[in-house]
Chain A
């Protein structure tokens, strides 16, 4: 199975900050990388698919990049509604696997 490793596991940031989350796959997955956002008590929400394609309706301050084994999710200017946990997930092959999550907290 492909292992997904996210870093950091948590980050404290202020409104307006630029935040970067990294995800590394244990083997090459081309661009089959997805990012989700999850708020407490809620279902995950699709943010980015195919490593860099923004899901419809997601604000442009979110962006994804990378290919192969190393990927990044960037929030260019953190907004109050962005405080949440973010997960990467590989869709290269079954079983799909998620990273352990990165919690973005208020500084």
Chain B
């Protein structure tokens, strides 16, 4: 079955960087776009970014544009998110998620357990 395991979260000071990873298994990773969604403590879901199946296309939410970059290594079945210039308001649980459809962005059918990023001085 599909499994997504995030790692790399932790406590970081404002202005610093962090890289999250998402290890995927149970499906052909190279055939599916992957996304990140975050949830600040006690708040709703916020869409963060998407990367296409081949890594050639990505889109970002307005709040992270220019600071967060996605990449993927299809040989290692791993998704990454480089988070630069972190702000206090980036504090959240970050979920990686798999797109449901083959090379098409319609919805997210599998999610990881999430990793907490806390930005604090």
Judge whether B11 is part of the interface by a CB distance below 8 angstroms. no
Q: Quick check: B113 and A43 within 8 Å, CB to CB?
A: yes
Q: Mark B49-85, 1 if CB is under 8 A from A, else 0.
A: 0100000000111100000000000000000000000
The answer for the CA separation of A31 and B70 in the assembled complex, in Å, is 28
Q: Quick check: B107 and A34 within 8 Å, CB to CB?
A: yes
Candidates B35, B62, B109; contact of A1 at CB < 8 Å: B62
Q: Enumerate chain A residues within 8 angstroms of B61, measured Cβ to Cβ.
A: 95
Q: Enumerate chain A residues within 8 angstroms of B95, measured Cβ to Cβ.
A: 43-44
Question: With A43-B112, A46-B100, A49-B107 in contact, is A89–B47 under 8 Å at CB?
Answer: yes
Q: Give the Cβ gap from A46 to chain B, nearest Cβ, in Å.
A: 5
Q: Do most interface residues of chain A lie in helix, strand or loop, or is the interface mixed?
A: loop
Q: Quick check: B100 and A97 within 8 Å, CB to CB?
A: no
The answer for the CA separation of A44 and B106 in the assembled complex, in Å, is 16
Q: Mark A30-46, 1 if CB is under 8 A from B, else 0.
A: 00101010100001111
Q: Do most interface residues of chain B lie in helix, strand or loop, or is the interface mixed?
A: strand
Q: Mark B83-121, 1 if CB is under 8 A from A, else 0.
A: 000000000000100001000011111011110000000
Q: Quick check: B109 and A98 within 8 Å, CB to CB?
A: no
Q: Mark A63-107, 1 if CB is under 8 A from B, else 0.
A: 000000000000000000000000101010011111111000000
The answer for the CA separation of A94 and B52 in the assembled complex, in Å, is 12
Q: Quick check: B112 and A98 within 8 Å, CB to CB?
A: no
Question: With A43-B95, A44-B111 in contact, is A98–B105 under 8 Å at CB?
Answer: no
A-B contact pairs, 24 of them (CB 8 A): A1-B62, A34-B106, A34-B107, A36-B45, A36-B108, A43-B95, A44-B37, A44-B95, A45-B111, A49-B107, A50-B106, A50-B107, A55-B109, A87-B44, A89-B47, A89-B107, A91-B106, A94-B105, A95-B60, A95-B61, A96-B47, A96-B50, A98-B44, A101-B44
Residues of A at under 8 Å CB distance from B?
1, 32, 34, 36, 38, 43-46, 49-50, 55, 87, 89, 91, 94-101
